[in-house]
Structure 1
Amino acid sequence: MDSTRSGQVLALRTFSGLADNPHTSTTNGSAHSLNTGASESRPQEPSRTYQALLVFAGFMMLGHIIGINSIYGLFQEFYTSPETNIKDAQGQEALVSLVGTIGSGLTWSGCIFVNPIIPRANVKLITLIGAFIMSAGIILASFCDQLWQLFLTQGLLYGIGSSMYYFPLMSVIPTYFDRNRGAAMGIVVSGAGVGGLILSPVFHALLTRLGIRWSLRVLGLWNFAVSIPIASVLKKHGATGATGQSRVSMPIVKRGTFVLQACHLLLCPSVGMLSAIPSDEFGQSVGAFLQAAGNMVPNYYLTTYSVSVLSYSSSTGSLLLALNTAANTVARIGMGVLADRVGRQNTMVLSVIFSAVSVLALWYDSDPARFLAFIVFYGMLAGGYSALFPTTISEIYGIQNYASMNSAIYFVRGIGVLCGAPIAGIILGSHQSGDSNSNPSRSSQMLSIEALKTRYNDVAVFDGVLLLAAGLCVAYVRWLDARDKGGWLWRA
């Protein structure tokens, strides 16, 4: 959730936390030198009016991207249903979820291409072009009647555009704040949850009244119309020096904490290459990959589970999705407060492990009451990693390596998003849910509710194992970071 959801949020809080904690460890050089370098490249403090405009623009932009990503479950429930306008998508959970994960995955993994050009390009123009491509993908999806067309529009075009729309603004905002970065973080991050909270019931209402084609057109036109004033807030060339260099430092890549955070398994597939990487570099990368893969699965299948297994109406399913998003929004603030008291890495470890517990204990073989509890608790717990992992990047690797490490790990998280939900769809298999006794002519394609619930139980086990493994990786990184800093501290 946001994934997932996303998030996907750059760490304005990171810089505030570093300023507040003079003992924060850095990888290259002292904290003093880092702060000096950042201040040299930071622009003069702008007016409060301009700061407010930047924060509001970030809030709205996150509401667009994370909100649309988080409600893809509504699209999936419709595309795979008998009412679908994409006939070869009916019952194809894995293929339809892959459309959404391509869009969401490219939102994050596209940073590895977008971030390096931001310091040298017109960020306002990049943002506008990205919003146009993103909106075009949504609108063109309304004309699709075959699944491969959705892959090109709602998957590929949307993902490329959303990445270009997202990263320029989020790389510029931190450079315009000094004392109030923490407050700016709270406001900007809240847009991620508010977007999904509003879009879920609104899009369902549009879908009910206008149908899928006009709903997509309205969504795409609205997205582009709002993106124009958002992009206009940006100056042509944003000062991004405070976020550090854009290239990945090879000494950092060779550290085990990076591999565990970013998933060097994808970059170094052979045993020989892996054996050359120090063990402490292996955990951070794997953790990011596994958490991103597992985090999006409930978001994509929450609505289909509530409709197909619990026999709720689609409108109730959209409300449950909104409830999940609302819990996630509130929890982001709570996780930030808790992290300041008990440590950011500690809080992140607990959030990932307990999100796995919530999946295995509450989603597996759930009845309506337990599923409602799962929606709330998973929404509260799943946001911890997305909200806190950018902060831990700076704490572990140093602020001067923040931009490069953030890009690399976002890239790996994007790849992780591409894997989780489609594999869950393969586990579910092609099916038409419902009561086969009431529709004998279609019984060969339909599953009983009990049979379908059994498949969802397998999905819950798959997702729980992914998240539990991610939690163990993050805990291992926590231990490795303490070792590298020369001693264990309970608050970290």
Structure 2
Amino acid sequence: MTAVFRDIELERISSKKERIGPPEANLLSEADRHSSNHADRESSGTSTAVQAVERPTKQYQMLLLLSGFFMTFHVIGINSVYGIFQEFYTSAETNVVDAHGQDALVALVGTIGSGLTWSGSIFVNPLMARIDNVRMISLAGALIMSIGLFAASYSTRLWHLYLTQAILYGVGSSMYYFPIMSIAPVYFDRHRGFAMGVILAGSGVGGLVIAPVLQVLLDKYGVRWALRILGIWNFVIGLPVSCVVKHRPGFGTRGRTRLNLRLVTSSTFIYQALAAFLQAAGNIIPVYYLSSYCVAVLNYPRSMGSLLLAINSGVNSVSRISMGILADRIGRQNTLIAGVMLSSLSVLAVWYNAPRAQFVAFTVLYGIYAGGYNALLPTTITEIYGVQDYASVNGFIYFIRGLGSIGGAPIAGVILGSHKRGANAADLASQLDGHLLRKRYNDLIIYSGVLLAAAGLCVTYVRWLHARARGQWSWKA
């Protein structure tokens, strides 16, 4: 992390020595300057002067990293442990009478919530461009998100969950998530990969902490109080986190929030959007069905399922930082491609038909590889499209990711079908032959692996298209 701020200090010293020319000359890359100048010509039309950019302080950068870490700790951490809720809601002990054994319908609750987290960018980013005090957007999001969790504790029917833990939670989490995620990249001129890796590492730590805590709350107090405690705690932490975020002073226009037709119809954008859809759909399946695989196929107790989910999240957290550091050295697109391809390989080669020891290995390996895409997507968007187009492209790509998340796990639930839960092998034998149940999970695993492999091919093609557009090939990109 010290490397990030050392670079900022060197740039500040340099700016004091060189007062000739606009300050952005030292701030933006060549691609960013081109995009920025183009946007200024479009928006002002009367002046060619470039607005001075106020350089961020070390203190604010540290505070932004810390706030972003805790924000993703909540939003992505809670999203990633929905599999524990799914295991409970579909079990015989469920408090939702029409959820018992309904994997596809219950998975849809979680995927709507996490999908709206991403898809909400389509209205949150334009809102941010029009409102100076973005703290209010983030604060309102934390409140709505917490109300959704708290209200879900009173649910007795599936449609109650759709209104609360899906829609209310999803809309609120999006408003809480995007102010920091959209603004943070422009506060770091170099080593953006590392900075975003630190912020997104909070999601892995969130899963690591929340998974076992949630299981204890469920076992000791029941699902109703578990949801209430989670909602209250989310808002208590979200309040100070929301107060940190702000637009970067003097950063010219805040970035276009409307996509221009030329960009949307480019092959680079189309394949990047397709990759986002496929990766989100494939990536959410292991997260949601890890716990149920432990219980239904491997006959582990639920506590073991939550433990393995926590291990996966913890490894994922370290991986996001490591991937960010690696990306700054060998190229962000290169690292992103490797992460998606290896995550697909781990699903197909390690999870498929996995016994207990092999499944533990998969839990660790998938945690290592799957974090790369999520950590590096914002930085690759900035690299390919420039800072000024970041808001519009990022908003739409995450909207597409949300659609992928909504579709992935419920289709996997249809593949899996309905079956009882329990760690008792006799229960399994009485309702469905164990071999048939394992085969259904293997079909689900193939579905997830193929989606991830297709996403890997798409991001590889985007890498080639970007190099062709620049007119030169570079091994580091």
Same fold by TM-score greater than 0.5: yes
The correspondence for 1:71, drawn from 77, 81, 84, is 81
Structure 1 residue 451 and structure 2 residue 408: aligned?
no
Structure 1 residue 96 and structure 2 residue 81: aligned?
no
Q: Which residue is 2:310 aligned to? A: 322
Separation in 1, partners of 2:28, 2:252: 20
Q: Deviations over 1:352-406 (max 9, x none)?
A: 1111111110111101111111111111111111111222212222222111111
Q: Which amino acid aligns with 2:376?
A: L
The correspondence for 1:487, drawn from 467, 472, 475, is 472
CA contact (8 A) 1:288 1:409 kept: yes
Separation in 1, partners of 2:166, 2:249: 29
Q: Which moved more, 1:50-59 or 1:447-456?
A: 50-59
The correspondence for 1:431, drawn from 419, 422, 426, is 419
Q: Which moved more, 1:46-55 or 1:69-78?
A: 46-55
* Structure 1 residue 20, shift from structure 2 partner: 9.8
Q: 1:147 to 1:365 in 2, by over 3 A?
A: same
Identify unmatched segments of 5+ residues in structure 2: 9-23, 42-48
TM-score normalised to the size of structure 1? 0.84
Structure 1 residue 259 and structure 2 residue 259: aligned?
no
Separation in 2, partners of 1:224, 1:253: 37
Separation in 1, partners of 2:230, 2:259: 37
* Structure 1 residue 89, shift from structure 2 partner: 0.7
Separation in 1, partners of 2:152, 2:475: 50
Structure 1 residue 400 and structure 2 residue 384: aligned?
no
Q: Which moved more, 1:144-153 or 1:390-399?
A: 390-399
Structure 1 residue 292 and structure 2 residue 280: aligned?
yes
Structure 1 residue 140 and structure 2 residue 151: aligned?
yes
CA contact (8 A) 1:348 1:384 kept: yes
Separation in 2, partners of 1:437, 1:56: 46
* Structure 1 residue 290, shift from structure 2 partner: 0.5
Structure 1 residue 225 and structure 2 residue 236: aligned?
yes
CA contact (8 A) 2:197 2:375 kept: no
Separation in 1, partners of 2:472, 2:193: 28
* Structure 1 residue 342, shift from structure 2 partner: 2.3
Separation in 2, partners of 1:35, 1:83: 57
Identify unmatched segments of 5+ residues in structure 1: 1-11, 263-285
Separation in 1, partners of 2:172, 2:350: 36
Structure 1 residue 105 and structure 2 residue 90: aligned?
no
CA contact (8 A) 1:171 1:240 kept: no
Secondary structure (helix, strand or coil) at the match of 1:208 reads helix
Q: Which residue is 1:346 aligned to? A: 334
Secondary structure (helix, strand or coil) at the match of 1:400 reads coil
Separation in 1, partners of 2:306, 2:249: 38
**In angstroms, what is the RMSD of aligned CA positions?**
3.0
Separation in 1, partners of 2:208, 2:425: 37
* Structure 1 residue 139, shift from structure 2 partner: 0.7
TM-score normalised to the size of structure 2? 0.87
CA contact (8 A) 2:412 2:444 kept: yes
Separation in 2, partners of 1:115, 1:59: 20
Q: Which residue is 1:466 aligned to? A: 451
Structure 1 residue 420 and structure 2 residue 420: aligned?
no
Q: Which amino acid aligns with 1:477?
A: V
Q: Which amino acid aligns with 1:447?
A: L
Q: Which amino acid aligns with 1:131?
A: A
Separation in 1, partners of 2:135, 2:388: 25
Separation in 1, partners of 2:400, 2:185: 23
Q: Which residue is 1:247 aligned to? A: 258
Separation in 1, partners of 2:421, 2:65: 44
* Structure 1 residue 50, shift from structure 2 partner: 3.7
Q: 1:179 to 1:331 in 2, by over 3 A?
A: closer
Secondary structure (helix, strand or coil) at the match of 1:381 reads helix
Q: Which moved more, 1:429-438 or 1:234-243?
A: 234-243
Secondary structure (helix, strand or coil) at the match of 2:450 reads helix
* Structure 1 residue 332, shift from structure 2 partner: 1.1
Q: Deviations over 1:201-245 (max 9, x none)?
A: 111111111100000000001111111122233459977757622
Q: Deviations over 1:287-316 (max 9, x none)?
A: 111111001100000011011111111111
Structure 1 residue 215 and structure 2 residue 215: aligned?
no
CA contact (8 A) 2:139 2:238 kept: yes
CA contact (8 A) 1:196 1:322 kept: yes
Structure 1 residue 30 and structure 2 residue 41: aligned?
no
Q: Which amino acid aligns with 1:469?
A: A
CA contact (8 A) 1:308 1:449 kept: no
Structure 1 residue 53 and structure 2 residue 57: aligned?
no
Separation in 1, partners of 2:316, 2:119: 23
Q: 1:203 to 1:491 in 2, by over 3 A?
A: same
Q: Which residue is 1:266 aligned to? A: none
Q: Deviations over 1:74-104 (max 9, x none)?
A: 1011111111111211111111111000000
Q: Which residue is 1:331 aligned to? A: 319
Q: 1:40 to 1:201 in 2, by over 3 A?
A: farther
CA contact (8 A) 2:36 2:388 kept: no
Q: Which residue is 2:358 aligned to? A: 370
Q: 1:141 to 1:351 in 2, by over 3 A?
A: same
CA contact (8 A) 1:62 1:195 kept: yes
* Structure 1 residue 447, shift from structure 2 partner: 2.1
Q: Which residue is 2:169 aligned to? A: 158
Q: 1:183 to 1:397 in 2, by over 3 A?
A: closer
Q: Which residue is 1:307 aligned to? A: 295
* Structure 1 residue 490, shift from structure 2 partner: 2.1
Q: Which moved more, 1:190-199 or 1:232-241?
A: 232-241
Q: 1:74 to 1:250 in 2, by over 3 A?
A: same
Q: 1:425 to 1:180 in 2, by over 3 A?
A: closer
Q: 1:142 to 1:24 in 2, by over 3 A?
A: same
* Structure 1 residue 200, shift from structure 2 partner: 0.8
CA contact (8 A) 1:292 1:413 kept: yes
CA contact (8 A) 1:252 1:397 kept: no
Structure 1 residue 125 and structure 2 residue 136: aligned?
yes
Q: 1:459 to 1:239 in 2, by over 3 A?
A: farther
* Structure 1 residue 169, shift from structure 2 partner: 2.7
* Structure 1 residue 477, shift from structure 2 partner: 1.3
Q: Which moved more, 1:478-487 or 1:109-118?
A: 478-487
Q: 1:40 to 1:135 in 2, by over 3 A?
A: farther
* Structure 1 residue 485, shift from structure 2 partner: 1.6
Q: Which residue is 1:270 aligned to? A: none
* Structure 1 residue 176, shift from structure 2 partner: 4.4
Following TM superposition, where does structure 1 have runs of at least 4 consecutive aligned residues deviating by more than 6 angstroms? 18-23, 34-37, 236-240
CA contact (8 A) 1:349 1:475 kept: yes
